[in-house]
Structure 1
Amino acid sequence: MRSLWIQIVLLIIYLFLVFFVSRLLDMVLWYHNAIPSTQIVDPLLLSVRQLKQLLENRGVSYTGYVEKRELAQLVEASAQVVQSEVEELSENSESSDERLPTPPTPSRFRGRLHFYEEVEDTKDSVWLVQVVPADSQQHDAQMDDYSWRVVCNQVAPFAIRTGIFDCKLDRRLCQSKGWHQPLLLLALPKGSKAKDRVVLRTFTSMRPQPIMEWVRDQLSIRVKTVDSIHDLECEWLEEETCNSTTASNSLREVKVLLLTTLLHPPLFLAALSIKFTGRIKFGMFTVKKQDSDSLHKKLKHLDYRMPSYLVITPERKVIYGHRRFEHFNFDSMNRFLRAVQPEMNDVFLGSLIVVNMLVTLQIFQVSMQLWWKHLARCLWILISYNFWLFAVWLLILATYRFSAVNYFVDKCLVVVRTISLTELGCLLRTDWQTVSRYPYIFLSTFLMYSVLAIWLLKRHCAAEAEEESESDHPWWEVLPVDSYWINCFFRPMATLSRPLPPSELELEDGIEMLIERLAVPNLWLQPVIPNEYIKELPIWRFRGWESSPKQCSTVEVSCQSPQAIERLMDGEEQRISCTCSLDTVKFRQSSDKKSDRCSLLPYGLTEPCNCVDVISSKNGLCEDSGDESGSVPGGMLPTSECAVCLETYVWGSVLCGLPCGHSYHHCCIMLWLQQDNHHCPVCRWPTYKAKHLHRE
């Protein structure tokens, strides 16, 4: 979690740096040009070629207009011209050396299914399809390659997709549709709802100019015409004096209204009405002389000029084109409207970019010595982050119809829309447009920033990184499900009461336990533990925890008191030297008089263990003690009594230690382990697994 927050902070810092550098570049360009990008340019100062390019980008037909003044007036009637739009126009004309640039490659449909999949299933776009008849005698009447290329170039700026359907590939479809001669198909949504049914319009002329006029007329139908000033006030401007039900029903709608002297809307506005079907309402009002004065009074607070593109939201009204990079073409207004009324897919793509930027920052933090471990960890990070992103989005889409979720989404849209209509939102869109133009520069700078930021972070946290070095981690810790869930698969259920660090888990033990679990019926409850490790447990004679003879270790309180047991269970043993005589230790005598042994009944055991009576015996050793030494093994915790039988250690008793450091009577712990209790009675640490001392 801490690493995730570090990544988020680093990402925010990078985005802030991009914003700051962009503002510096804007100041440099403004100082160099000495002309603000939003300054209005007189169209008469432009060349005829520039005027025609502006009209083509806006989708306004200039057929019959020859004089430069006529073209300039037509440009002014469509929209005003700003300095940044002229600069962008000059850059595009310089970058294209060809007189007729290469259009996007048209799709070639392979048959009926491919045609239906591409054309009729995409309900938010427009298709222009050329139908080639199966009869070869009709080929002379069809469109030549040059004319088709001209048409594709003219419709490409408005996101109109093109394709070719050859009836030789599916004669039955052409016969059922009546496509027996060369023609053009225009596929577009029928209604005003999102994902509405697609209708096909046909056109038989094969000349580019009539084709463009036909496409413009068909798409202009989608822009609603406002007939009177009263309808404008009630249905679009939502004046308080209007009490109509239509005004109250459209309070939550986002609308774009063109106020102009043209009789037909530009093609870019009509194409946008198709793309934002069901999300934004588009309209056009042809301003007459008698309505101009009253319209100026209503919109004077918005710096209204003729013509204007009025964007109406439930929160406020703004005029499009007064800020930087708000040009009057399809791409620029599409970017603006997607920020004002984003679609779920737009938000998803934004979240996908942000998450993968976080993935990049996380990958640069991975430091593995072996290349395959490094690659495995990087792949896991990439897959896991994107998996959780998709899981969250699936949950959102599944619960979107609930009223609470829908209400929350609407409030988020209000926040996004409010920010988008401010100057800050305009600057963010400007930066996004710059990043979209030069993606490689953005990617390279982000990678350089990631390397530098992670390098500085690692230098600052060198000590912490050393603790998490690869030598202390098993191979599966390349997967960051490191602590609890991995242990659930590779540790017995009894040990889950105390979650352990993942580095305490050994590979061999974990894999062997997993195989043994699969071999028993009660799969996850009682795994079979091999008993070979018992032979390796340290055994020694108790001669005290210090070098002085006949000294034993005890605690300040009575060994039989509940406080002592409680402190022993918490691992708070204390070493306090005291003298005790052997005759003060009491044992329960067994019925076996021949061996004169004592029967100590361990706590929780059903069978007693037999030890030599230390009062009558000199060595006090169990007969099956094996090889034992007199010195205390390293890592043992000093304690005064056996936590199994609750009896105090006496001089010469045989003790057995566990990997956790706790010690017991050898006989007591052997009976404990033989009953399939493979963990320490005190701390529950597995008795078959070593424990690192530095973690105590």
Structure 2
Amino acid sequence: MWLKLCLLLIFMIFLFILARIVEAVSWLEAGFLSRRLLDPMSLSVLKLKALLEQRGVSFEEIVLEKKDLTDLVESSGPVTEGDVELATVDEKSTEVTNFSSGVHFFEQVEDAKDSVWLIQIVTQQRRPRLLGDVAWSNIQKKVSRFGVRAGVLDCSLDIRYCHTRGWQSPQLMLALPEGFETKANVKIHTYGGPTKESAIYNWIREKLDGKVHRITNYKTFKDSWLTFTNPKTNPEIRAVFLTDQHFVPMFFSALSVKFPGRVKFGTVDISSTDGMHILNLIKNNKERFHLNNLQVPLYMIITSERISYYGTKSGEIFSFSKMEKYLNSLYPCLNDIFIFSFLVGNILSCFEVCLAQGSIIKRFKQFVWCLIKYNILVIMLCLPLVAVFQLPYLDKMPLIGLKLIREFSLTTMGNTMRNDLFLYTKHSTILAAMFFLYMFIIGVAEYRRKGREEPEEQEENFWDFTQMRTLEHLLSPYTILNIGHPYRLQSDLEMAMRPVASENYIKQLPTWKYTPQVKSNICRGSEAGLEGDHSNVASIPCDGQDETVSGTDSFKVPQSSWQCQQHSSTARNIQSSCEKSVPTADRKLDNKSKKVDSNLTQHGKCVEMLVDNFPHGYLPSCQCVICLDDYVSGVMLCGLPCGHHFHENCIFTWLKLDNHFCPVCRRYAFKAVSSSVHIHSE
């Protein structure tokens, strides 16, 4: 997860640097950036009309003079290179929604309560539509750039619903939220004027103008717009348009529907008496309003932290899409944060394709699993967080988070990142190509770092139950079975708080060459013979630990040195076979071992015993518990402070895997044993 987050951060830094390079190249070629102000009189009539359509300022057909168009453009805001470039780009009209029934109409228009709808009603009678196909397409293309969605309801699909609503004839309607709060009721306005495109466009603009507050009182502006309750955490944003005209650009009024309850929109007519008082207040308090040169029109953005002005920085263009992204960055809603989390999760899951090793099918399986896992994780984290932040003592946490977002978005870096986002979303195909190229480079680098993967049968160890051959896997430091023994309980506590050890001690561990000293065959009784008197023969466990053979003079014999050779019905045949298979030079046993030999031989079972000379303090054994192979003569062994020993290569590999403890008793390999008595000899 952290590696993928770092890779995503590196890609974002790359996009940031690439955007700066593009800006530098543009500056070298043209000699200016997009913020350079232009004189509207230097533009052609077509560009002036395109600017007016982009900003939502209506102009009558009788206005043919270029100066009149220039005055209308200047009354809606200054003109920059970015405005002209965006206005001349052909906008793609959105698709028209064809409602299939009254329920579909209610869900999309009246129940959503977050959009403006231009709806054309088609009745079942053989009457022509109120607007023809050409006029409907033109008006729909004009209003779509301001977030107005278009739909057609054919009453023949749901006659009862149209009859209930009283829609008996073809008509044109506009549906928009009625109030200024979140989830306000939707009110449907019916158009009753001429079917000219300009008349319909002006009607829609007038209805949207009613969503903007008219500030006509100096005291109201000072108390309700400049003053905040709880100014430290109040997230509300207020946008005020100061103008000397009697109209509001449609891009500004249409935004009031997109941000109900978050952004409050108002306008001030500075040609009125109260408007002049407001203008004088701004001029006399330039330090408070952070304004050096007052030029009307002016778009004032008021927050609890500061007062800023839209259109004064690079990339702040007077259009619906640009100002919508600007306000979204200042006050994102919960749905925006949720979508952003899903987007980040899906991008992180895409890195699984290049980080995984294997065939295409295996990479695809891991990608799908990672995609499902991350999406479920986002859902499981977001929903509980919403409930947690509604608790009494945590309800201020989202407000603090919104405050930090506003502070960052109002800075120059926030404005730069916002412009980069708009640039890359505009060229989404190039962005996707760069991302796939970045994934390919990461995949090649990861493949060269790890090399060719091992075969599938060596990797898939899920069904490997070889550790179940004994119960040693239950004696781990974290199992509850160890609680019964006080020493193991102490070992568990030490393992739970074990420190990070250095690997320098590995070079100081004692090593020696394994050389067997004495080799002899002895015999012990069969299962039937052991039913009698076998007080001189101790039970021998099968876990590789040493046991004491009791007798007059007992001695320790490692269990792993006992190897059964054959069974016989009589002790004579067993003894003769043992004598033939063992050289005479290897039969040199002391009196104690001969006594055990005689006791074991009479029970009729032949075994082999190896007695080796190990360094002092190490437990005798002839098998490595890591690889489970017997020691052969001349192999190098390595011992740990606890008294256990293993193959040198096996134990070095074990310790270098951050396992700084004995694989048998779990004692530290870098810490000397304080007690001289070992747990296995108790």
TM-score (norm: length of structure 1): 0.69
**Residue 183 of structure 1, aligned match among 155, 158, 171:** 171
Q: Distance in 1 between matches of 2:124 and 2:388?
A: 50
**Residue 156 of structure 1, aligned match among 112, 136, 144:** 144
Q: Which runs of 5+ in 1 are unaligned?
A: 239-244, 478-485, 501-524, 527-561, 583-590, 650-654, 664-681, 684-690
Q: Deviations over 1:339-389 (max 9, x none)?
A: 111112222222223222222223201112x44333322222222222212
Superposition pairs of residues 171-570 of structure 1, within 5 angstroms:
171-205=159-193, 206-238=195-227, 252-288=235-271, 291=276, 292-299=279-286, 301-303=290-292, 304-368=294-358, 370-457=359-446, 459=448, 461-462=449-450, 472-474=458-460, 495=473, 498=476
Cα pair 2:233 2:403 within 8 Å, conserved: no
SS in 1 for 2:595: coil
Deviation at 1:400, TM superposition (A): 3.5
Change (3 A) 1:629 1:577: closer
Change (3 A) 1:380 1:496: farther
Aligned to 1:88: 86
Deviation at 1:623, TM superposition (A): 6.3
Note the aligned Cα RMSD (angstroms).
4.5
Aligned to 1:60: 57
Deviation at 1:661, TM superposition (A): 4.3
Cα pair 1:614 1:620 within 8 Å, conserved: no
Q: Deviations over 1:520-567 (max 9, x none)?
A: xxxxx99xxxxxxxxxxxxxxxxxxxxxxxxxxxxxxxxxxx99xx9x
SS in 2 for 1:202: strand
Deviation at 1:272, TM superposition (A): 0.5
Cα pair 2:173 2:189 within 8 Å, conserved: yes
SS in 1 for 2:19: helix
Q: Share of identical aligned residues, percent?
A: 27
Deviation at 1:618, TM superposition (A): 4.0
| Paired letter, 1:617 | D
Cα pair 1:77 1:307 within 8 Å, conserved: yes
Cα pair 1:123 1:195 within 8 Å, conserved: yes
SS in 1 for 2:268: strand
Deviation at 1:495, TM superposition (A): 3.5
**Residue 170 of structure 1, aligned match among 150, 158, 173:** 158
**Residue 617 of structure 1, aligned match among 597, 600, 615:** 597
Q: Distance in 2 between matches of 1:337 and 1:421?
A: 10
Cα pair 2:77 2:318 within 8 Å, conserved: yes
Deviation at 1:229, TM superposition (A): 2.5
Deviates more, 1:30-39 or 1:617-626: 617-626
Cα pair 1:273 1:282 within 8 Å, conserved: yes
SS in 2 for 1:620: helix
Q: Distance in 2 between matches of 1:593 and 1:28?
A: 97
Change (3 A) 1:604 1:407: farther
Q: Distance in 2 between matches of 1:181 and 1:594?
A: 112
Deviation at 1:592, TM superposition (A): 8.6
| Paired letter, 1:598 | N
| Paired letter, 1:224 | H
Q: Distance in 2 between matches of 1:423 and 1:214?
A: 39
SS in 2 for 1:406: coil
Q: Distance in 2 between matches of 1:278 and 1:211?
A: 29
Deviates more, 1:72-81 or 1:379-388: 379-388
Q: Which runs of 5+ in 2 are unaligned?
A: 482-486, 496-508, 521-528, 551-561, 563-570, 572-592, 631-642, 645-649, 655-662, 664-682
Change (3 A) 1:41 1:620: same
| Paired letter, 2:175 | A
Cα pair 2:233 2:400 within 8 Å, conserved: no
Deviation at 1:155, TM superposition (A): 0.8
Deviation at 1:174, TM superposition (A): 1.1
Q: Deviations over 1:163-207 (max 9, x none)?
A: 100111111111111111111221111222212222222223433
Q: Distance in 1 between matches of 2:259 and 2:135?
A: 30
Change (3 A) 1:594 1:154: closer
Aligned to 1:20: 17
Cα pair 1:128 1:187 within 8 Å, conserved: yes
SS in 2 for 1:284: strand
| Paired letter, 1:259 | L
Say how many residue pairs are matched. 552
Cα pair 1:573 1:638 within 8 Å, conserved: no
| Paired letter, 2:381 | V
Aligned to 2:2: 5
Q: Distance in 2 between matches of 1:361 and 1:248?
A: 43
Change (3 A) 1:207 1:573: same
SS in 1 for 2:145: helix
Change (3 A) 1:341 1:56: same
Deviation at 1:31, TM superposition (A): 1.6
Cα pair 2:355 2:446 within 8 Å, conserved: no
Q: Distance in 1 between matches of 2:262 and 2:161?
A: 34
Deviation at 1:418, TM superposition (A): 0.9
Cα pair 1:573 1:639 within 8 Å, conserved: no
Cα pair 2:389 2:397 within 8 Å, conserved: no
Cα pair 1:363 1:381 within 8 Å, conserved: no
Cα pair 1:340 1:417 within 8 Å, conserved: yes
